[in-house]
Amino acid sequence: MKKVNLRNPLLLTIAAAIWGFAFAAQSEAMDYIGPFTLNCIRNVIGALVLVPVIFVTDRYEKSRENGCKKEERAEDKRLLLTGGICCGLLLTVATNLQQLGIKYTTVGKAGFITAIYIVLVPVAGLFFKKKCGLTVWISVGLALTGFYFLTMIGESSFTKGDIFVLLCAIVFTGHILCVDYFSPKVNGVKLSCLQFLVCGLLSGIVMLCRESLVPTDIVKAWAPILYTGVLSCGVAYTFQILGQKNYNPAVAALIMSLESVFSVLGGWLFLHETLSASEGLGCILIFAGIILSQIPKEWYGRH
């Protein structure tokens, strides 16, 4: 009997839930601090949370790598540093675009617009000479139609917040592909920690240039900062890297798309946000496109 893998989907589902509810926390934090301040602090916290984990795993790995050549270990460190910088740069751009977007739109809309990256991932594969089937293009059509209903119809006209979040989804597409490339080759926890340090440092530089750092405001936002720092960064992004490792990327992307559902639920529970009929239809169409784009080809032939 074939062994069922529950570890990877469980990690990815937990990550999706944490990210979805994090939209509400990120929105609440913006009542006190700026977007770059939040991303600086929460990413530094996320990195610090992983330090003890790295210390424990390092001791275990050293006991296993006694026979490895020094050249191989040096090559691994270079690859880890390269991966951390690349993932960190993309994460910096994506999370700050998302944070700016949340400032001007609802968390429910932001969650579903962000989730469009799930559809964009297979389309981006065209640049690597990977063909897309008909279902992918149907998925793109559904997602774009849903995006129109979500942002262009009714009272919720297309805002600059929606533009920021859409750009965020495009950059997150690159981040997922980057994680997919590096996660099987390096230590996932270390990769996650490095990307947080890069994102925290770069966000901090912009924070010092554009935002005022008021300690009392940071104290007022302690709850959403801790949630986004410890859980959204330290736990969820690490679970993403560990969950994607040696796992079907299409299925992984489908599970992570649940983030959009949790974002609407979080906005309703904690911020009392609601969706209009057109916005609800838009969410349904986007989610349908997301699911359709991730159905494995071999399923089509089953009866």
pLDDT digits (tens, 9 = 90+) for 222-281: 999 999 999 988 888 778 878 877 776 666 766 777 787 788 778 777 777 777 777 778
Residue 64, in any domain of the structure = no
Least confident of 51-55, 80-84, 148-152, 276-280: 148-152
Give Cα separations from 73 to 41, 64, 65, 280 (angstroms).
32, 12, 9, 51
Residue 302 belongs to some domain of the structure: no
Asked if residues 295 and 135 have their Cβ atoms less than 8 Å apart, the reply is yes
Token pair of 188 as six digits = 């996932």
On whether residue 1 sits in a domain, the answer given is no
pLDDT value of residue 193: 92
Q: What is the pLDDT of residue 141?
A: 77
pTM, two decimals, is 0.77
Q: Does 303 fall in a domain?
A: no
List the domain range (segments joined by +) for residue 78: 7-58+72-294
> Between 246 and 15, whose confidence is greater?
15
Residue 164 resides in a domain: yes
pLDDT for 156: 54
Q: Is residue 63 part of a domain?
A: no
Do 160 and 14 contact (CB within 8 A), yes or no?
Answer: no
Q: What is the rounded distance in angstroms from the CA atom of residue 269 to the CA atom of residue 109?
A: 15
What ranges in 65-159 are assigned the alpha helix state H? Answer: 70-102, 107-114, 117-124, 134-151
Per-residue pLDDT band at 1 (split at 50, 70, 90)? very low
Bigger pLDDT: 154 vs 254: 254
Number of domains observed in the structure of the chain: 1
Is 65 part of a structural domain of the chain? no
Chain centroid to Cα 191, Å, comes to: 15
Q: Quote the pLDDT of residue 300.
A: 46
Residue recorded with tokens 């919720």? 156
How confident is the model at residue 61, as a pLDDT? 58
Q: What is the pLDDT of residue 173?
A: 85
Return the pLDDT at 250.
60
Least confident of 165-169, 208-212, 255-259: 255-259
Please give the Cα distance from 130 to 133 (Å, whole number).
Answer: 10
**What are the φ and ψ backbone dihedral angles of 181, each rounded to 5 degrees?**
-75, -45
3-state secondary structure of 49: helix
Residue 148 maps to a domain: yes
User: 107 near 213, Cβ under 8 Å?
Assistant: no
Q: What is the distance between the terminal CA atoms of the chain, rounded to a whole angstrom?
A: 21
Q: Which residue has the higher pLDDT, 46 or 151?
A: 46
